[in-house]
Amino acid sequence: MFKIIKRGITKVKEDIQVIYDKDPAADNLLEVILCYPGLHALIAYRFAHRLYKWHIPLIPRVISYITRIITGIEIHPAAKIGRRFFIDHGEGVVIGATTIIGDDVLIYQQVTLGGTGKEHGKRHPTLGNSVIVGAGAKVLGNITLRDYVRVGAGSVVVEDVPEYSTVVGVPGRVVHQKFRDENGVLMHNRIPDPVKCELNRLKYEVLELKEKVEKMGEK
């Protein structure tokens, strides 16, 4: 029991420190402890999750419900969240029951890590280490975002995303990916320009529309 409590305190200390380190608006640790609803929701989740793992009925869900009322953040106690997790701003965040989140992950307000309503069992996403999910983004279904993925604000991601990728749009598509050789070394000469990729996509869409308009005119 003492070891479990000690591990829990260590995780909370890391959660506090990562906010102070990453958020330039945080002036001191006391401000982080008192004024960050994302931290409050995460502390409540860590306690509720421990009770859930001990198979204590109802109480974990009650803690989750009360936390949602107070912070506007809903984290199911069955979700699995790694170390140094940071919810910035936090309002409207939803994290589903079978979600798995790695270490050093950052998500912003209005993010949903949810299901599609079509799956059973593992029905929520898995996020690798050092993933960032922008404000308002939706990551849906039993999919995997691998390490160092970046999801743009407002994107809707419904498919797996390889590591070191940037995803934007509805539905989400990869616009930037760092390539590695067999030894794991980054191959910077093969990194595509995301702006160029997007312009090329728009160019082809315009050409397709032009062809359709011309065919309609011929009729």
The answer to whether the pTM exceeds 0.85 is no
As to burial, measured by CB atoms within 10 angstroms (0-12 exposed, 13-18 middle, 19+ buried), residue 130 is middle
- In the predicted structure, residue 191 carries a pLDDT above the cut 50: no
Residue 193 in domain: no
What average pLDDT does the structure give for the chain?
Answer: 87
User: In 3-state terms, what secondary structure has residue 185?
Assistant: coil
Record the tokens describing residue 41, joined without a space.
């929701």
Assigned domain for 121 exists = yes
Q: Is residue 204 domain-resident?
A: no
Closest CA to 85 of 152, 157, 19: 19
Lowest mean pLDDT among 22-31, 121-130, 207-216: 207-216
Query: Buried (b) or exposed (e) across 100-127, using 16+ Cβ within 10 A?
Result: bbbbbbbbbbbbbbbbeeeeeeebbbbb
Question: Domain limits at 57?
Answer: 2-177
The answer to whether residue 203 is domain-embedded is no
User: Which three-class secondary structure state does DSSP give residue 152?
Assistant: coil
pLDDT tens figures, 144-185: 999 999 999 999 999 999 999 999 988 888 887 775 555 544
Q: Distance (Å, rounded) from C-alpha 15 to C-alpha 77?
A: 17
**Look-up: residue for tokens 């309002």?**
91
Cis peptide, bond prior to residue 162, ω within 30 of zero: no
Task: Find the helix packing angle between 37-53 and 59-71, rounded to 10°.
Answer: 170
Q: Which pair of structure tokens corresponds to residue 20? A: 């102070």
Of the pLDDT bands very low, low, confident and very high (cuts 50, 70, 90), residue 210 is confident
Task: Find the CATH number of the domain harbouring 158.
Answer: 2.160.10.10
Q: For residues 78-106, give the mean pLDDT.
A: 95
Share of the chain above pLDDT 90, in %: 63
Nearest-angstrom CA–CA distance, 208 and 214: 10
- Tens of pLDDT, residues 45-90: 999 999 999 999 999 999 999 999 999 999 999 999 999 999 998 8
pLDDT at 208: 81
Residue 92 CB neighbour total at 10 angstroms? 15
For residue 215, being part of any structural domain is answered with no
The residue among 38 and 170 whose pLDDT is bigger is: 38
For 123-133, how does the pLDDT look when each residue is reduced to its tens digit (9 = 90+)? 999 999 999 99
pLDDT confidence of residue 186: 46
Residue labelled with tokens 């009322």: 69
Number of domains, the chain: 1
- Is 201 a member of any domain? no
With contact defined as beta carbons under 8 Å apart, do 79 and 102 qualify?
no
With a cut of 70, say whether residue 187 has pLDDT above it: no
Nearest to 107, CA basis, from 126, 85, 129, 125:
85
CB 127 within 8 A of CB 113: yes
Indicate whether 92 belongs to any domain: yes
Q: Specify if 166 maps to a domain.
A: yes
